[in-house]
Structure 1
């Protein structure tokens, strides 16, 4: 029992490390070879956990080999467009100028119902409204509507705006983030003064305090849901 526990812990951290090395893509964004390696790693990790007769080192060596293979292929694809096309394939145009490419749909085994569902999920209901629909190598569908149906931007409407910035956390669960406070060019006195204005007398009373994307102070108390 103890042996199984130790083997499971080792394999768990090994698989987590493998996923970290492979990058931050979601399952739906994995290229075919990345998905294949992910499935193989999960199978190789499961076998030594289920069957203690299989030496743990066999599973570890196999997983490390796949990680190295994936890393080498990823580097080679960065350097070679031919290899990238060979391994991942190329995007396929399913709709062009509002017309379906029937041959491409058949080749990709992509039926009309699936295509219409993908279009609806992106807010389009008519094939004639689409300039291009491209099936990416990851399996996701990119949709480019006809220009006259593209939603207007604030620039098109001549609406003056200011660029949003990333929110900066100043206090989390009563603890001050001095590094973020310093990056704003502020000090403890400034923070204390602003919190006092909003009825917070002690930093520990605040669950979260941050400067939001509009440059405004946002806070929430630990016990009361008072917000600004």
Structure 2
């Protein structure tokens, strides 16, 4: 009897340990897949029902960790994902969009602060001014239009006389913008970018050898417009108390 009960005890204990590991792992993986199926919109924009969807889905997929009914929880989560995708699809139609989403609210128009708009979004003046400072605006008179978007973010359009000068204003020719292409990130080679540029690892190693760098010591290496390689490594340069290289804190 004792040996049998001990065997059952150890067996049950082993199963419990395995279950304790696989259940949270399974919940995490399935929850991640559901969010990937939903798309970036649920995380990036967060409208009212985006928040509701995320809150409900989070609660549903976390239920199996405590309750143990994995199948039912995942079924419910799948239904919520389908409903959410349906709402997203419906929101692409202009007539339904104005029902599902809140309309943007004007906070400043032609330099005048709209009290009705602030009251509608329940935003005090000091918070509005703070949001404007974050965006680089200190004077409301310089703003043509400030709007709280349906996502809760504030968009600001300055008056024409206060906007930054564009090259087009000065009739200056401007070349096409080039985005440096990462070839090494955190000591790891980005092979798909090498392939895209029709380069190989031997070319990269040759360029690194010219500068005396090794792959594992490179934080970032990017392919520049002129075909050269920019390298940012872990080496710390001593600038001998140069004021231009001051770092706040005691470790400067």
**Separation in structure 1 between the aligned mates of residue 229 and residue 89 of structure 2, nearest angstrom:** 44
Correspondence 1:95 to 2:111: no
How much has 1:13 moved relative to structure 2? 1.2
* Equivalent pair of 1:29/1:140 in contact (CA under 8 Å): no
Aligned counterpart, 1:39: 55
Once the two structures are superposed, residues 1-28 of structure 1 have per-residue CA deviations (whole angstroms, 9 ceiling, x without a partner) of: 4334322122111211122122224756
* Equivalent pair of 1:44/1:59 in contact (CA under 8 Å): yes
Higher relative contact order (CA 8 A, sep 6+): 1
**Separation in structure 2 between the aligned mates of residue 196 and residue 6 of structure 1, nearest angstrom:** 46
Q: For this pair of structures, how many residues does the alignment match?
A: 219
* Equivalent pair of 2:42/2:50 in contact (CA under 8 Å): no
Secondary structure in 2 aligned to 1:7? helix
Q: 2:151 aligns with which of 130, 138, 147?
A: 138
Task: Indicate the RMSD between aligned Cα atoms, in angstroms.
Answer: 2.9
* Equivalent pair of 1:91/1:136 in contact (CA under 8 Å): yes
Secondary structure in 1 aligned to 2:85? helix
Q: 1:68–1:188: structure 2 CA closer, same or farther, 3 Å change rule?
A: closer
Correspondence 1:219 to 2:214: no
TM-score (ref. length: structure 2): 0.73
Q: Which runs of 5+ in 2 are unaligned?
A: 1-15, 238-252
**Separation in structure 2 between the aligned mates of residue 122 and residue 218 of structure 1, nearest angstrom:** 31
Q: Which runs of 5+ in 1 are unaligned?
A: none
Aligned counterpart, 2:247: none
TM-score (ref. length: structure 1): 0.80
Secondary structure in 2 aligned to 1:37? helix
* Equivalent pair of 2:60/2:73 in contact (CA under 8 Å): yes
* Equivalent pair of 2:42/2:54 in contact (CA under 8 Å): no
